Chain A
């Protein structure tokens, strides 16, 4: 009797453990899309629960949801719009960092663009806060810079 190939990935699931101790299952073919996960599987084997110290139970299900859709080829613009619709800017940032850590390229590119779209019309203050960047210009320097490129401030609400 022919033996089932032990490397068949069609129905195999991998267990992932988040930094806060929760365990989630993901199909092996979806795990392949996250290079960090795949590297850990290559090192530790696919029967072990893979530890993901820097990803937490809030984000991982969402990422799994994305790649579940990806392996069936169902990612559309509508799906992506729906995917981020209810996330606020900080939540998207967390997801973006997780996608980076997991080396999940497709999700990473999508979220890069989504964050850019969210920040496009934001004020300088908002973007500073968002990235935790300190303003190291003097008030005089900053006011000169703003004046020189006043046209780029047109239509931008300063308190948003």
Chain B
């Protein structure tokens, strides 16, 4: 039993009550990342404790609702991280994570290609990095053997395998050495520290191609990474997923009456659901939001929201995430973010740069987590 020393029944004199170590931990586990990073300065044992990967893991997994933030990079270049739940106009709590580990250069060729458990995947000058903006921890990972031309990668994603406590980077691309279309599915395991190809068991190569004109970041949902794909063997668009535990591909269907070109659509997570958004510029001038009410049940797709394009400030729609209260936050495509409520009504529109534009935006969680053999900083 954990006994403490609580001396003094005399309430007039409050002596210092020392909390045993394991009780202090119970309190620390309930503090947000920012406070914990500051409290590393308290003393050496606290510094060790808070830096301990086991503490970070318990801390991250204790919170069912994580503090999520939005990171964006402007062409200035400026890097800013804001609180998802705060007003877009509230500047009191933004932070400016630094990317000093990257060689000094403009960030114009920097791309964010995924985010998971506090880590963001950055691709810059043909290099891939995993980076935790809250702690500064970063690690460079090697390029995929087949997909080494990151621009030709059409399926790229990042996720976590709970069963092995492992992070995976996934790449599917066209074989650069082949004249005909041949796809290669590869994944990088942080624990194995190596890329591995997954063979297609049903035919010589996987039948998936990018359904959009531009490469899209995979949508991480429920232990799988999803992309919109075109299956050339059945001539249909599907939503292809990579199951991070099984390390296998699976298909989901688009909704039945979904009449949009994938180029005008996107996958994202809306509240607890996998969701599709689609812009209809041609017929109705609307934006539709569909959710898959029952995961993996193709017939459960339902259209939940329709916005008029006229209600969208820049007529550009690309949702990032939803807040606890169901508001939608999206980029305006140029310099800022827009917030709508769950009925599609405009709440806020904030521009963050004057003579610049936002080049990359991503949602990430605050975490103290580190990677095997990464360079510790905070």
Q: Give the secondary structure class of B's interface.
A: loop
* Pairwise interchain contact B44-A120, C-beta atoms closer than 8 A: no
Does A24 count as interface, using CB distance less than 8 angstroms? no
Which of chain B's residues have a CB closer than 8 A to the CB of A101?
Answer: 3-4, 6
Does A23 count as interface, using CB distance less than 8 angstroms? no
Does A78 count as interface, using CB distance less than 8 angstroms? no
Q: What class of interface size applies to chain A in its complex with B?
A: 35 or more
> In the complex, what's the smallest C-beta–C-beta distance from A155 to chain B, in angstroms?
6
* Pairwise interchain contact A93-B17, C-beta atoms closer than 8 A: yes
- How far apart are the CA atoms of A57 and B11 in the complex, in Å? 10
* Pairwise interchain contact B43-A135, C-beta atoms closer than 8 A: yes
- How far apart are the CA atoms of A131 and B19 in the complex, in Å? 7
Interface string of B1-25 (1 = CB under 8 A from A): 1111010010100101111000110
* Pairwise interchain contact B32-A112, C-beta atoms closer than 8 A: no
Which of chain B's residues have a CB closer than 8 A to the CB of A36?
Answer: 1
* Pairwise interchain contact B14-A90, C-beta atoms closer than 8 A: yes
* Pairwise interchain contact B4-A151, C-beta atoms closer than 8 A: no
Which of chain B's residues have a CB closer than 8 A to the CB of A96?
Answer: 19, 23
* Pairwise interchain contact B38-A131, C-beta atoms closer than 8 A: no
- Known contacts A116-B27, A120-B35, A121-B35; is-contact A151 B96 (Cβ 8 Å): yes
Which of chain A's residues have a CB closer than 8 A to the CB of B41?
Answer: 124, 137, 142, 145-146, 149
Q: What class of interface size applies to chain B in its complex with A?
A: 35 or more
> In the complex, what's the smallest C-beta–C-beta distance from B367 to chain A, in angstroms?
14
- Known contacts A54-B6, A100-B23, A115-B27; is-contact A124 B39 (Cβ 8 Å): yes
Does B371 count as interface, using CB distance less than 8 angstroms? no
* Pairwise interchain contact B17-A103, C-beta atoms closer than 8 A: no
> In the complex, what's the smallest C-beta–C-beta distance from B282 to chain A, in angstroms?
46
Interface residues of B in 120-164 (CB under 8 A from A): none
Does A72 count as interface, using CB distance less than 8 angstroms? no
* Pairwise interchain contact A97-B39, C-beta atoms closer than 8 A: no
Does A136 count as interface, using CB distance less than 8 angstroms? yes
Interface string of B24-40 (1 = CB under 8 A from A): 10111111101101111
- How far apart are the CA atoms of A90 and B28 in the complex, in Å? 17
* Pairwise interchain contact B19-A97, C-beta atoms closer than 8 A: yes
* Pairwise interchain contact A128-B43, C-beta atoms closer than 8 A: yes
> In the complex, what's the smallest C-beta–C-beta distance from A78 to chain B, in angstroms?
19
Which of chain A's residues have a CB closer than 8 A to the CB of B19?
Answer: 93, 96-97, 131
- How far apart are the CA atoms of A154 and B93 in the complex, in Å? 8
* Pairwise interchain contact A57-B9, C-beta atoms closer than 8 A: yes
> In the complex, what's the smallest C-beta–C-beta distance from B40 to chain A, in angstroms?
7
Does A140 count as interface, using CB distance less than 8 angstroms? no
Does B95 count as interface, using CB distance less than 8 angstroms? yes
Which of chain A's residues have a CB closer than 8 A to the CB of B35?
Answer: 119-121, 152
> In the complex, what's the smallest C-beta–C-beta distance from A95 to chain B, in angstroms?
10
Which of chain B's residues have a CB closer than 8 A to the CB of A145?
Answer: 40-41, 47
Does B284 count as interface, using CB distance less than 8 angstroms? no
- How far apart are the CA atoms of A121 and B92 in the complex, in Å? 13
* Pairwise interchain contact A155-B38, C-beta atoms closer than 8 A: no
Does B46 count as interface, using CB distance less than 8 angstroms? yes
Residues of A within 8 A of B (CB): 18-20, 36, 54-58, 90, 93-94, 96-98, 100-101, 103, 108, 112-113, 115-117, 119-121, 124, 127-128, 131-137, 142, 145-146, 148-149, 151-156
Residues of B within 8 A of A (CB): 1-4, 6, 9, 11, 14, 16-19, 23-24, 26-32, 34-35, 37-44, 46-47, 92-93, 95-97, 377-378
Apart from A120-B32, A134-B43, list 4 A-B contacts with CB within 8 A: A20-B9, A100-B4, A116-B31, A124-B41
A-B complex: 6 closest residue pairs judged by Cβ atoms? A20-B9, A116-B30, A152-B38, A132-B16, A152-B37, A56-B9
